Structure 1
């Protein structure tokens, strides 16, 4: 910046003022600086600029899996909102590994981010480090909560499972439950929500006990477990409710390979339903019946809650909840798999 100021023949404060807000300097000065920028190719170092500020315009986002379409859609929504508000969003993936989540936390601390939105690993997270980071900057958790008190935006699993269990029970056999690998709190909360929904209907919960490693390869895990189940006589009922859509993808693929027809027609052998409404769920064969998480609304509300904690009110529709925790109801998506 010093070299560029000497090159353009203006004081550093004037040049700095231009890069922070071009409209804050006179048109003649702006023309001089823009011509010098074009001639020299100079660009300010945004990291150095932000480190010199009391509060930066960088937002940090940590997700557990960069290949999961749900997290891709969610981060795209948050990035768009951040950009409109004049913030730069950086997305890092923990890849399902606590050590990478910890490294991402340390990276954001070194970048002096203004705030952060995190989808935590939950049971595997370094909770003390996350809580300590939360003491220094505003943090919002999404998808799965870190604990019962931290700011959180996600889906009301109890409502969503009540909705899908009720539909499946009314339209055919009561569902058994096929869980997800134990990678975050959703694995436990959704199983509990299924059991509660079955209890409310005075039906016996039937949980499929399948060995699953704690990794994010949900499709392969479900495919391998389902193949074994089908070789051993099949599921305990003719309807399988999966903890999420990616698990359902693996179940349907294994069923197809075993010659088991999935669908709700009279000639079908098995019904399969999921949870989340992943972008690919409607294009499965057969298209997957599921309950939809509203990732657009989760992203909007998480960003609004973060901006509120930063002292900015970017979203006029946002109403701050008393406990800073927002649970969104899901919507059922009826398709031909169940």
Structure 2
């Protein structure tokens, strides 16, 4: 039995599709934890066991983890909380349930940066790495998917790209860094969950096929969208003000700013890309399949 949290998010929905495709071969039962089962397609609801509720709730994870062999763990960050509460606080009930039910394997979505000098001051990334430590401390076999920024984050700029040809971030324009498609992250998770011969605790980087800067992204988007695209870097103090204007918890907003600052200082640059750490989807292909339809048709889909 594999339990999938956040199955309607972008990573979780890709993962669920992959595991359903292979279920007849592997014979693995699937259970999902979801707040609103109506968000699951009818064909999916008929093939999985559904636990309704938040996977941050002790009673919900107690039911969800009973009889489970493996868990896919993804925390949906709650900007109304501090980073500590949004990651470790949310995960504590699950950590207790993992032990209580003897779950053997967990695959979680986390971040790059472990082992760098920046890891202790990287805001949301620091909180995510502390969540990894909490899960690993239960004694389960744990693999943290060490992810860079997602291509899908650019979907939040689809309206601006359509209307003004501009996208924004707080990252230096010429800073090259790994970026990955969520479908590739889901594929790595699926492989780990299906083949549970691994033990202990470790990170599994998912780096995409190449490092790209915001300037590179603008050039490629210009080619793929057939219209000029320009990058505008937002100062960190302005980003902080904007986040507070959207009523984020002050500590969470500071966590976002600290994460962006750490990325600018090289947080994501500590892992070498190899055939094992790279992933196949190029930004060009992702733009053609996902971003271009969202920008040119007027439909925006968010990452998670």
Shared fold per TM-score greater than 0.5: no
- Scaled by the length of structure 1, the TM-score of the pair is 0.38
Highest CA radius of gyration, 1 or 2? 1
Q: Taking CA–CA contacts closer than 8 Å with sequence separation of 6 or more, which of the two structures ends up with the larger relative contact order? A: 2
